[in-house]
Structure 1
């Protein structure tokens, strides 16, 4: 894998080619950003924690029948994944009101949403990831009607599974985003699942245990990620 090529570098990961055409390597960085890259810092060990966290969640979802791109963890910072043709749509589930939803709709933070909401956003940094609907997705050819329904179905299934998993660790899964892609004609869950892309609150104190600690200058970002991992039984 020494001849690998960097295909893409994002805010928190670098994607490399691997020794096989159908697989890629995800390298988890220590970089942490917020507000469309306006705030950026490096937090020691964050990449290692997120790599281990993501591997744990992906393996758990696979054990429950969710198709994911994850193959295996290679080392402390890298994982091997299937090479997907990514759909440029983020699927966001909200179990409680937080973040942009509170601003858009004037709803108090923490309100329980029953049933949970599912929103779609176009993955486009230049446009600040605008909110879209299923009609946009189909009209502009980002995904077929069948794929949209599959993304909806798998996203809600993941929500059911992970809400229960985090609840056992005395954590509330407030919201999260998922991305999907195609591999050999089938839809797979792609990208990553870590505290960078979800909100997690302590079930008793409602303390924030996710990237909101970075966004709101609360400190202890990596320490919170580590505590979440330890509660779940993730080997760091």
Structure 2
């Protein structure tokens, strides 16, 4: 940085040039520096509004997802995370993503409650995972396990692995949140297939994508306040300070000091 120049906002920084693999609303995937690796870049784009940035949310989501993935790896749940590279990027294992994802419901809210005629906010007797097609056009389409096996998206053994992993992940995450006075209402999990050798059958199912403020619906038990963006719609999105919701969740997990991140105006970490 030259003398007299102003530090750049992290939201103004562009990802370094590398082979582009996928562009999503909130993340970008690049080819990694080594064979069998990808680089996952977390953006500041609002998950529910086109053309709107929430400055610093990519940094927070990166740190939250790293924390959860590291902790899950420590208890034996295999994830794609290798390590966090800097404030916005993670080095992850290259995977073949499954065309469906899992939404885990611990409380009945929104469309889930309406579909089943349940009271809004009802605490479910046990977690209910649902499989959905990974598509914005069919986001509310619930599919069965038979859809997944019949269409060749996963075999029976892989499906059993996904269900077992989902149960372990839910038990672990609910404990992490409840210890901080938070209720994990609903969240999304994505899984992928890692090829361990040149033999096609030598594969492993791992948790991929992210576990962050963008993929979780969270309730502060004491205040009754929702700390996620999914609870907002229409005019509420424009009037609400969206960044504060990301900051509050990160503060709860000790990733930020009270008052907000002090590193939003400084240069990227260089490791």
TM-score by length of 2: 0.81
Structure 1 residue ranges (4+ consecutive) displaced by more than 4 angstroms after TM superposition = none
What SS does structure 2 have at the residue aligned with 1:42?
A: coil
Aligned to 2:219: 201
What SS does structure 2 have at the residue aligned with 1:179?
A: strand
Alignment of 1:196-235 (within 5 A): 196-215=214-233, 217=236, 219-234=240-255
Shift of 1:222: 1.9
Shift of 1:116: 1.4
Alignment of 1:12-27 (within 5 A): 12-27=26-41
Shift of 1:77: 0.7
Cα pair distance change 1:25/1:104, threshold 3 Å: same
Which of 47, 51, 59 matches 1:33?
47
User: Considering only aligned residues, what root-mean-square deviation do their CA atoms show, in Å?
Assistant: 1.8
Aligned to 2:69: 58
Which of 167, 170, 181 matches 1:170?
181
Deviations 1:127-162, CA, capped at 9 Å, x for gaps: 345210101001111110111111111011100000
Q: Distance in 2 between matches of 1:2 and 1:177?
A: 28
Aligned to 2:167: 156
Which of 20, 24, 29 matches 1:10?
24
Shift of 1:40: 5.1
In our comparison, the structure showing a higher alpha carbon Rg is: 2
Does structure 2 retain, via aligned residues, the 8 Å contact 1:8–1:14? Answer: yes
Does structure 2 retain, via aligned residues, the 8 Å contact 1:174–1:198? Answer: yes
Q: Distance in 1 between matches of 2:138 and 2:219?
A: 29
Aligned to 1:189: 207
What SS does structure 2 have at the residue aligned with 1:149?
A: helix
> What is the aligned length?
233
What SS does structure 1 have at the residue aligned with 2:169?
A: helix
Structure 1's unaligned 5+ residue stretches are none
Does structure 2 retain, via aligned residues, the 8 Å contact 1:209–1:221? Answer: no
